[in-house]
A and B are shown apart, each in its own frame.
Chain A
Amino acid sequence: MPWELDNDRPIYLQLMERIQHDIISGVYKPGDKIPSVRDLALDAAVNPNTMQKALSELERNGLVYSQRTSGRFITDDEELLKNMKMQLATEHIRQFFEQMHQLGFSDDETLQMIQETLRREKQ
């Protein structure tokens, strides 16, 4: 299945996000070997050079490292993985609050609504 990609943002960024997401959601475990650029590109139905760029960027961030002969691996630096997870979570929260602002809710109102929703679901 080709990966779902947005139209208005650079493709390599979206590929990076998808791989990060796969790392967090456990599709890849720390230290796992990841498929070759070509296989990933075929799976995503994107250009191999674009996939290459996405992986190089992930390598620069330290999430992925390559071993000259045996391929690319997910980092086993738990601290780094935890940071990435926190970063993504913060980003989601930020976006959520932004959308709530657009709907005309203040931060306090939004917080109150979250708590109410949680309370209702627990009942």
Chain B
Amino acid sequence: MKLPKYLEKLSEALLITDEVVFNRSRHDFESGVFTISETFDGTTSVVCAAKSAKLKIKVETAQSTELALFIYGFGRIELDIEVELEMNANAKLIITSLTGKDAKLKILKTQKLSLGANLDVHLGLFFAKKLELLDRVSLERDNASFIQNLLNITAHKDSSFVRQSVEHFGVNTISNLDNNLIALGASSIAFDVSGHIAKGKHGSECVQKNRGLLLGEMSMIKVDPKLLIDEYDVVAEHGAAIGQINDDELFYLLSRGLSLAQARRLIVSGYLSSYYDAIALLPLGEMIKNRIEKILEGADSQ
């Protein structure tokens, strides 16, 4: 696959393609499995432009890692991301998928967290023709915590299907899924979200928030949040709010002198702000932001 110049220029990033792995010296790459098991200073960028890849990210006991993964490619892409956090390990992952508009992307993401481990994920999924994400979280031991902020934008006749499941197998475990969805054109997004707190796992918190914004006349968003709670002493909440731009919100912004286009962009930016903050300092951050803004501007003018 021919890579665009902005990716080739990323000398600091680990680049994985079907043929080559750049800067592989610090990492294991065997039989198509790329393993990252070190502790890094600052954020390490990994660009994955392979048709099929398996990434194992293992953070050892009491270590910390910050990793930015950028998924790029065309056609059919399959990615298997396995994250394992040992006791008291901390990790922050920023995962962005900004593929070609013909891409059919399938991601299997599994996360296993041990005692006292913390995983903070920012996940941006943009404009693939077809996206399928299976996202599994297992809070295997006590005091583990998983927080994920997800932004999914679809356009044209794209479709996204995401299945998220979180299992609380330890006491005082925390999970917080914050899903922000925007559907443009005639695209569709379907989320199936479930959280399970096992019996006896008291003090746990399982929260799911889903916000969906329909910006196309033919666009569709469907969210099915579920909580399966087998313990009394827990906090569990879920919710889904889906709709077009709220008339009251719009009137409020217009009444301050913003034009209709400015008001719409400001409301949409509210969905993007958390993700933009997360990528602000990444080498590809500005490029990603510009590309998203350009596509949204195109949608505004339609």
Is chain B found bound to chain A in the same assembly?
A: no
